Amino acid sequence: MNYTKSIPFLFDNYLSLADERNDNQSSRLNNFNNFLLFHVTFRSWMMYLDNQGRYSIIDFFCPLILTFLFTVFKKNGHKCTILAFLVYLIKFSSVFPTSPNHYYVELYFLFLFSIFNFRNSKNETNYLTNSLKLLFVIILFYTGIKKLLYGQYFRGEYLAYLISCDERFSSVFSYILSKKEMLSIKSGNYITGNYYFYLISNSIYLFEIIAPIILFFKKDHNYIKEMLIIFFITLFLISREFTFAAIFLQPFYLFFNTELEKVFNRVFMLIYILMLLPFISIIPMWTFN
Protein backbone atom coordinates (compact mmCIF):
# COMPACT_ATOMS: atom_id res chain seq x y z
CA MET A 1 0.00 0.00 0.00
CA ASN A 2 1.34 3.39 -0.90
CA TYR A 3 0.76 5.43 2.22
CA THR A 4 2.10 8.61 0.76
CA LYS A 5 -0.58 8.55 -1.93
CA SER A 6 -3.33 7.50 0.43
CA ILE A 7 -2.86 10.59 2.56
CA PRO A 8 -2.32 13.36 0.03
CA PHE A 9 -3.40 15.92 2.61
CA LEU A 10 0.02 15.72 4.18
CA PHE A 11 2.39 15.00 1.40
CA ASP A 12 1.03 16.28 -1.86
CA ASN A 13 -0.67 19.52 -1.04
CA TYR A 14 0.21 20.95 2.28
CA LEU A 15 3.71 19.71 2.82
CA SER A 16 4.91 21.80 -0.08
CA LEU A 17 6.30 24.39 2.26
CA ALA A 18 9.77 24.48 0.75
CA ASP A 19 10.60 27.51 -1.27
CA GLU A 20 12.04 26.10 -4.45
CA ARG A 21 13.06 29.53 -5.68
CA ASN A 22 15.78 29.47 -3.04
CA ASP A 23 19.00 28.01 -4.34
CA ASN A 24 20.77 28.27 -1.00
CA GLN A 25 18.43 25.84 0.82
CA SER A 26 21.15 23.22 1.00
CA SER A 27 23.72 25.55 2.56
CA ARG A 28 21.13 26.81 5.02
CA LEU A 29 20.31 23.26 6.04
CA ASN A 30 24.01 22.61 6.39
CA ASN A 31 24.24 25.57 8.79
CA PHE A 32 21.25 24.21 10.69
CA ASN A 33 22.82 20.74 10.88
CA ASN A 34 26.10 22.19 12.03
CA PHE A 35 24.43 24.30 14.71
CA LEU A 36 22.33 21.32 15.80
CA LEU A 37 25.43 19.23 16.43
CA PHE A 38 27.10 22.13 18.21
CA HIS A 39 23.98 22.58 20.32
CA VAL A 40 23.61 18.93 21.40
CA THR A 41 27.34 18.77 22.17
CA PHE A 42 27.09 21.90 24.28
CA ARG A 43 23.97 20.66 26.07
CA SER A 44 25.57 17.30 26.85
CA TRP A 45 28.59 19.01 28.34
CA MET A 46 26.36 21.32 30.36
CA MET A 47 24.40 18.36 31.73
CA TYR A 48 27.58 16.50 32.55
CA LEU A 49 29.18 19.50 34.30
CA ASP A 50 25.94 20.42 36.02
CA ASN A 51 25.44 17.00 37.55
CA GLN A 52 28.35 17.57 39.94
CA GLY A 53 29.62 14.02 40.00
CA ARG A 54 26.23 12.26 39.81
CA TYR A 55 26.58 10.93 36.34
CA SER A 56 26.25 7.61 34.64
CA ILE A 57 28.57 6.16 32.03
CA ILE A 58 26.27 7.52 29.30
CA ASP A 59 26.48 11.03 30.72
CA PHE A 60 30.24 10.75 30.57
CA PHE A 61 30.65 9.31 27.08
CA CYS A 62 27.82 11.19 25.36
CA PRO A 63 29.52 14.63 25.37
CA LEU A 64 32.84 13.10 24.41
CA ILE A 65 31.42 11.25 21.39
CA LEU A 66 29.35 14.26 20.34
CA THR A 67 32.38 16.52 20.56
CA PHE A 68 34.28 14.11 18.34
CA LEU A 69 31.38 13.98 15.86
CA PHE A 70 31.08 17.75 15.84
CA THR A 71 34.77 18.19 15.07
CA VAL A 72 34.71 15.74 12.14
CA PHE A 73 31.30 16.92 10.92
CA LYS A 74 32.54 18.94 7.96
CA LYS A 75 34.20 15.92 6.41
CA ASN A 76 31.36 13.47 6.74
CA GLY A 77 28.24 15.38 7.68
CA HIS A 78 25.44 12.88 7.24
CA LYS A 79 27.16 9.93 8.91
CA CYS A 80 28.10 12.15 11.84
CA THR A 81 24.47 13.21 12.20
CA ILE A 82 23.24 9.60 12.17
CA LEU A 83 25.77 8.65 14.85
CA ALA A 84 24.89 11.74 16.88
CA PHE A 85 21.22 10.76 16.63
CA LEU A 86 21.98 7.24 17.91
CA VAL A 87 24.10 8.54 20.78
CA TYR A 88 21.45 11.06 21.72
CA LEU A 89 18.76 8.37 21.45
CA ILE A 90 20.64 6.23 23.98
CA LYS A 91 20.95 9.22 26.29
CA PHE A 92 17.25 10.00 25.81
CA SER A 93 16.25 6.39 26.49
CA SER A 94 18.39 6.21 29.62
CA VAL A 95 16.13 8.75 31.34
CA PHE A 96 12.82 7.97 29.61
CA PRO A 97 9.99 8.67 30.47
CA THR A 98 11.35 11.47 32.60
CA SER A 99 13.39 12.85 29.71
CA PRO A 100 13.53 16.65 29.73
CA ASN A 101 11.27 18.21 27.13
CA HIS A 102 14.06 19.80 25.10
CA TYR A 103 15.45 16.34 24.44
CA TYR A 104 12.41 15.59 22.31
CA VAL A 105 12.89 18.58 20.05
CA GLU A 106 16.61 17.97 19.67
CA LEU A 107 16.05 14.30 19.01
CA TYR A 108 13.37 14.97 16.38
CA PHE A 109 15.62 17.39 14.54
CA LEU A 110 18.49 14.89 14.63
CA PHE A 111 16.10 12.21 13.41
CA LEU A 112 14.98 14.27 10.42
CA PHE A 113 18.56 15.13 9.50
CA SER A 114 19.48 11.45 9.77
CA ILE A 115 16.66 10.35 7.50
CA PHE A 116 17.25 12.87 4.74
CA ASN A 117 20.67 13.39 3.27
CA PHE A 118 20.12 16.86 1.89
CA ARG A 119 23.55 16.79 0.24
CA ASN A 120 22.34 13.98 -2.04
CA SER A 121 19.55 15.53 -4.05
CA LYS A 122 17.31 18.54 -4.40
CA ASN A 123 14.33 16.32 -3.67
CA GLU A 124 15.68 15.32 -0.26
CA THR A 125 16.57 18.94 0.48
CA ASN A 126 12.96 19.93 -0.17
CA TYR A 127 11.59 17.08 1.90
CA LEU A 128 13.84 17.93 4.81
CA THR A 129 12.92 21.61 4.64
CA ASN A 130 9.24 20.69 4.51
CA SER A 131 9.51 18.32 7.43
CA LEU A 132 11.40 20.76 9.62
CA LYS A 133 8.89 23.51 8.90
CA LEU A 134 5.97 21.20 9.52
CA LEU A 135 7.47 20.03 12.81
CA PHE A 136 7.90 23.65 13.90
CA VAL A 137 4.27 24.37 13.04
CA ILE A 138 3.01 21.29 14.92
CA ILE A 139 5.03 22.08 18.05
CA LEU A 140 3.84 25.67 18.13
CA PHE A 141 0.24 24.70 17.47
CA TYR A 142 0.12 22.08 20.21
CA THR A 143 1.69 24.37 22.81
CA GLY A 144 -1.31 26.64 22.28
CA ILE A 145 -3.79 23.77 22.25
CA LYS A 146 -2.44 22.36 25.51
CA LYS A 147 -2.72 25.74 27.20
CA LEU A 148 -6.31 25.88 26.04
CA LEU A 149 -7.14 22.34 27.15
CA TYR A 150 -5.67 22.59 30.62
CA GLY A 151 -7.37 25.91 31.23
CA GLN A 152 -4.65 27.44 33.35
CA TYR A 153 -4.35 30.52 31.19
CA PHE A 154 -7.96 31.78 31.19
CA ARG A 155 -7.52 33.85 34.31
CA GLY A 156 -3.74 33.91 34.22
CA GLU A 157 -3.30 31.30 36.95
CA TYR A 158 -0.25 29.72 35.38
CA LEU A 159 1.53 33.02 34.79
CA ALA A 160 0.63 34.04 38.33
CA TYR A 161 2.09 30.79 39.61
CA LEU A 162 5.31 31.47 37.68
CA ILE A 163 5.43 34.98 39.13
CA SER A 164 5.04 33.55 42.63
CA CYS A 165 7.99 31.19 42.38
CA ASP A 166 10.26 32.50 39.67
CA GLU A 167 12.17 35.77 39.73
CA ARG A 168 12.38 35.87 35.93
CA PHE A 169 8.65 36.40 35.64
CA SER A 170 8.07 38.48 38.74
CA SER A 171 10.63 41.06 37.61
CA VAL A 172 8.85 41.53 34.27
CA PHE A 173 5.26 41.42 35.44
CA SER A 174 5.89 43.86 38.27
CA TYR A 175 5.50 46.57 35.60
CA ILE A 176 1.95 45.41 34.85
CA LEU A 177 0.70 44.32 38.24
CA SER A 178 0.37 46.55 41.28
CA LYS A 179 2.35 45.90 44.46
CA LYS A 180 -0.81 44.69 46.16
CA GLU A 181 -1.50 42.19 43.37
CA MET A 182 2.09 40.99 43.40
CA LEU A 183 1.93 40.40 47.15
CA SER A 184 -1.37 38.59 46.74
CA ILE A 185 0.11 36.32 44.05
CA LYS A 186 3.18 35.57 46.12
CA SER A 187 1.00 34.55 49.04
CA GLY A 188 -0.67 31.95 46.83
CA ASN A 189 -3.75 33.70 45.49
CA TYR A 190 -3.37 33.24 41.76
CA ILE A 191 -6.53 35.04 40.68
CA THR A 192 -5.53 38.69 40.27
CA GLY A 193 -8.56 40.40 38.76
CA ASN A 194 -6.27 42.49 36.57
CA TYR A 195 -7.75 42.57 33.04
CA TYR A 196 -4.50 43.55 31.33
CA PHE A 197 -2.96 40.47 32.87
CA TYR A 198 -5.87 38.32 31.65
CA LEU A 199 -5.48 39.80 28.18
CA ILE A 200 -1.78 38.90 28.04
CA SER A 201 -2.40 35.41 29.38
CA ASN A 202 -5.17 34.64 26.89
CA SER A 203 -3.45 36.21 23.92
CA ILE A 204 -0.46 33.86 24.35
CA TYR A 205 -2.32 30.66 23.54
CA LEU A 206 -4.58 32.31 20.97
CA PHE A 207 -1.54 33.53 19.09
CA GLU A 208 0.19 30.17 19.41
CA ILE A 209 -2.81 28.48 17.82
CA ILE A 210 -3.63 31.01 15.11
CA ALA A 211 -0.09 31.88 13.99
CA PRO A 212 1.02 28.36 12.98
CA ILE A 213 -2.26 27.79 11.12
CA ILE A 214 -1.67 30.92 9.05
CA LEU A 215 1.99 30.01 8.63
CA PHE A 216 1.03 26.54 7.44
CA PHE A 217 -1.52 27.59 4.85
CA LYS A 218 0.02 30.88 3.73
CA LYS A 219 3.75 30.49 3.78
CA ASP A 220 4.35 33.97 2.31
CA HIS A 221 2.38 35.75 4.99
CA ASN A 222 5.12 38.18 6.04
CA TYR A 223 2.98 39.96 8.60
CA ILE A 224 2.55 36.83 10.73
CA LYS A 225 6.25 35.98 10.44
CA GLU A 226 7.21 39.40 11.76
CA MET A 227 4.71 39.07 14.58
CA LEU A 228 6.18 35.67 15.42
CA ILE A 229 9.68 37.13 15.62
CA ILE A 230 8.49 39.78 18.08
CA PHE A 231 6.58 37.12 20.01
CA PHE A 232 9.58 34.80 20.29
CA ILE A 233 12.03 37.53 21.23
CA THR A 234 9.66 38.72 23.98
CA LEU A 235 8.97 35.18 25.16
CA PHE A 236 12.56 34.04 25.30
CA LEU A 237 13.83 37.25 26.87
CA ILE A 238 11.26 36.92 29.64
CA SER A 239 11.74 33.20 30.22
CA ARG A 240 15.51 33.35 29.53
CA GLU A 241 15.35 29.99 27.79
CA PHE A 242 18.26 30.72 25.51
CA THR A 243 19.34 27.19 24.64
CA PHE A 244 15.79 26.22 23.72
CA ALA A 245 15.31 29.42 21.75
CA ALA A 246 18.51 28.76 19.84
CA ILE A 247 17.44 25.34 18.63
CA PHE A 248 13.68 25.81 18.36
CA LEU A 249 14.01 28.87 16.13
CA GLN A 250 16.23 27.06 13.58
CA PRO A 251 13.34 25.72 11.45
CA PHE A 252 11.54 29.05 11.81
CA TYR A 253 14.41 30.80 10.01
CA LEU A 254 13.70 28.59 7.01
CA PHE A 255 10.41 30.41 6.48
CA PHE A 256 12.37 33.53 5.60
CA ASN A 257 14.25 34.27 2.41
CA THR A 258 16.76 36.29 4.41
CA GLU A 259 19.30 34.18 6.26
CA LEU A 260 18.35 35.30 9.74
CA GLU A 261 20.25 32.39 11.29
CA LYS A 262 23.58 34.00 10.42
CA VAL A 263 22.93 36.80 12.89
CA PHE A 264 20.99 34.88 15.53
CA ASN A 265 23.32 31.89 15.65
CA ARG A 266 26.30 34.12 16.39
CA VAL A 267 24.42 35.75 19.24
CA PHE A 268 23.40 32.37 20.62
CA MET A 269 26.91 30.97 20.36
CA LEU A 270 28.15 33.92 22.40
CA ILE A 271 25.47 33.22 25.01
CA TYR A 272 26.49 29.54 25.06
CA ILE A 273 30.08 30.46 25.78
CA LEU A 274 28.93 32.82 28.55
CA MET A 275 26.88 29.98 30.03
CA LEU A 276 29.90 27.70 30.13
CA LEU A 277 32.08 30.23 31.97
CA PRO A 278 30.67 29.54 35.46
CA PHE A 279 31.53 25.86 35.08
CA ILE A 280 35.17 26.62 34.48
CA SER A 281 35.16 29.08 37.39
CA ILE A 282 35.69 32.23 35.35
CA ILE A 283 32.51 33.84 36.65
CA PRO A 284 30.58 32.83 39.82
CA MET A 285 28.29 29.81 39.59
CA TRP A 286 25.16 31.61 40.80
CA THR A 287 25.28 34.20 37.98
CA PHE A 288 22.68 32.47 35.82
CA ASN A 289 20.50 31.17 38.60
Distance CA(53)–CA(50), nearest Å, equals 8
Q: Does 134 bind another protein (CB under 8 A)?
A: yes
Q: Does 217 bind another protein (CB under 8 A)?
A: no
- Collect all residues with Cβ–Cβ distance below 8 Å to 141 and sequence separation of at least 6: 208, 209, 212, 213
Q: Does 145 bind another protein (CB under 8 A)?
A: yes
248-287 residues in contact with another protein (CB under 8 A) are: 285-286
The dihedral built from the CA positions of residue 171, 177, 180 and 184, taken in this order, carries a sign that is: negative
Q: Does 200 bind another protein (CB under 8 A)?
A: no
Count CB-CB contacts under 10 A for residue 83: 18
Question: Closest distance between another protein and the C-beta of residue 68, in Å?
Answer: 24
Question: Closest distance between another protein and the C-beta of residue 258, in Å?
Answer: 27
Cα distances from 275 to residues 34, 49, 68, 105, 163, in angstroms, run 20, 12, 21, 21, 24
- Collect all residues with Cβ–Cβ distance below 8 Å to 212 and sequence separation of at least 6: 136, 137, 138, 140, 141, 144
Pattern 113-132, another protein, x by CB under 8 A: --xx----x-xx--x---x-
Distance CA(134)–CA(112), nearest Å, equals 11
Pattern 29-68, another protein, x by CB under 8 A: ------------------x--xxx-x--------------
Residues in contact with another protein by the rule CB under 8 A = 2-4, 7, 10-11, 47, 50-52, 54, 95, 97-101, 104-105, 108, 111-112, 115-116, 121, 123-124, 127, 131, 134-135, 138-139, 142-147, 149-152, 157-158, 160-161, 165, 187-191, 205, 239, 241, 285-286, 289
